[in-house]
Amino acid sequence: MLSLPLLIWQLAFFLFPLLFLVALSFWTVRNFQMQPDLDFGNWERILTRRAFWDAYLLTALLATASAVLTSLIAFPAAYAISFKVSDRVKQWLIFVLIIPFFTSYLVRVYSLQVFLSDAGIINAFLGFFGLGPILMLNTLFGTLVGLVTLCLPLVVLLQTFSLNFVDRDLVEAAHNLRCGRLRTVLMVIVPSARVGLVIAALFAFILSFGDFVSPLYLGGGNPPTLSIMITDITKSGQQWPRAAVVALMMITTLLTVAFLAIQFAYKERGK
């Protein structure tokens, strides 16, 4: 009985929209109007196009790179917040990490253009040393910078929370047994916080996989990712059913990755 609200919530906000999306992918468009149908043409058209698979591969690679890179950059910060500072400072630092969420992501991405453009702040700085300009804007590097900007605060927070739950006695025991600092981190802390670290990376992957803003405004849509492809398909011809096919492929990928990541996170050691 207590789980009823959760069930209703899941049905209303996840299952029903998902089922509608599945149904929509079989509809047809005539004179810019969607009509209920059972037409497999949308699936065939999308899945047999090389442009779709190129965009799929690129999007998956970008999301993976973003998850790995963000996790690596976030970990030293999360470790320092969790293990090296006082409780009071810790509270302030967590508050500071929440601040980026107060500003629109779109605004942050536009402001990054000021840093990354050929005549931007970074290239102006490099210019003092006779270097550059280095092309950063409208490249995959630019896209990655945007994705890391999107994910970093959240990943640091999630990593910090998971590191806070690491048993300090285990760390102390490792030190007593003459385990070095780096080895303690790799052999004791990381395995103990594995669930949280994997979930944090998973969130970075999910956010990056579906992001539209960074690939467009920092990557120049060149080449396009799946989210850009969805807007392209809907813009021309109002082909929402075909866009639904792309969206369902994205959802399937995310569900698979999430399932595998959670399996890995909760896998018991030695098994």
Q: Does 236 bind other proteins (CB under 8 A)?
A: yes
CA atoms within 13 A on the CB side of 255: 8
In the complex with other proteins, which residue's Cβ is closer, 56 or 203?
56
Closest alpha carbon to 219 in 105, 126, 109: 109
Dist. CA 63–CA 58, nearest whole Å:
9
Q: What phi, psi does 179 have (nearest 5°)?
A: -80, 130
Residue 59 touches other proteins, criterion: CB under 8 A:
no
Nearer to other proteins, 156 or 218 (CB): 218
Give the nearest distance from C-beta 269 to other proteins in angstroms: 43
**Which lies closer to other proteins via its Cβ, residue 206 or residue 213?**
213
Note whether 132 binds other proteins by CB under 8 A: no
Q: What's the token pair of residue 57?
A: 């591969």
Q: Which residue has the tokens 């492929």?
A: 249
Question: Does the footprint of other proteins cover residue 118 (CB under 8 A)?
Answer: yes
Residue 196 or 219: which CB sits closer to other proteins?
Answer: 219
Note whether 210 and 270 are within 8 A (CB).
Answer: no
Residue 49 interacts with other proteins (CB under 8 A): yes or no: yes
What amino acid occupies position 119?
A
Q: Return residues touching other proteins (CB under 8 A).
A: 31-34, 49-51, 54-55, 110, 113-114, 117-120, 135, 137-138, 216-217, 219-224, 229, 232, 234-238
